[in-house]
Amino acid sequence: MNTLQTESPSRKTSPRPKLTSDSWAPYWLRALIALIVGAAVYRAGLWALDVHLEWYQGLQGFNFNWLLAMSVLPVGTGVVIGMIYGFGGKYLAHFPPALVMLWAYQHTYSLPEGVHLLPWGMWIMFVILQMEFCAVGGFIGELLIRRRFSWDNPDFQRADSVPLPEDDADDAPSRGV
């Protein structure tokens, strides 16, 4: 007796499910993962650059690493967030830099000699700049996800898109006054 069973030809196998931008997890889980990963990437980048955006040390504090931390790092973090979350990543990307910077500002207990905490007004301006740069990166991440999953697929339906009703007023002949 043959113990190896083969599949009968009449039995159809279903095709493998295709991975799409919104199929691997529900929105809330993708948002949670994107927030955690985004905060970790942002904090690790600040640590690797050895930059403390909440510290003010005069003009010598504004060096090349500080410029990278103010521009490239948040954009890269936003790209990661946008690629994890997908559509809507540009909105979600605002939060990790704000949370990380608030944590760092509130948990600064001792400062090196000649260093002061930034005044609130200047610090808030830095936070807003970081949030906006990160949102730009989130938009880029959305574009990368869209290119990967929807531009090549003619059957792709965006999650939040609903066809609008046709406007018949444009087709109607206009009445003269």
Least confident range of 25-29, 67-71, 141-145, 159-163: 159-163
Question: Is 105 a member of any domain?
Answer: yes
Q: Return the axis-axis angle of helices 27-49 and 72-85, rounded to nearest 10°.
A: 160
Question: Average pLDDT for residues 94-114, to the nearest whole number?
Answer: 89
Radius of gyration of the chain (CA): 25
Q: Would residue 14 count as lying in a domain? A: no
For 37-82, write each residue's pLDDT tens digit.
999 999 999 999 999 888 888 787 788 999 999 999 999 999 999 9
Lowest mean pLDDT among 57-71, 100-114, 137-151: 137-151
Mean pLDDT value of segment 97-121: 88
The answer as to whether 23 is a domain residue is no
Mean residue pLDDT across the chain? 80
Task: Report how far residue 94's alpha carbon sits from residue 100's, in angstroms, rounded to the nearest whole number.
Answer: 11
Q: Domain range holding 108?
A: 35-149
Long-range contacts formed by 116-124: CB under 8 A, 24+ apart: 116/55, 116/56, 116/57, 117/54, 117/55, 117/56, 118/53, 118/54, 118/55, 118/56, 119/56, 122/56, 123/53, 123/54
15 inside domain: no
Domain assignment present for residue 7? The answer is no
pLDDT the model gives residue 69: 93
Whether 172 maps to a domain, the answer reads: no
Domain count, the chain: 1
In a domain, 166, yes or no: no
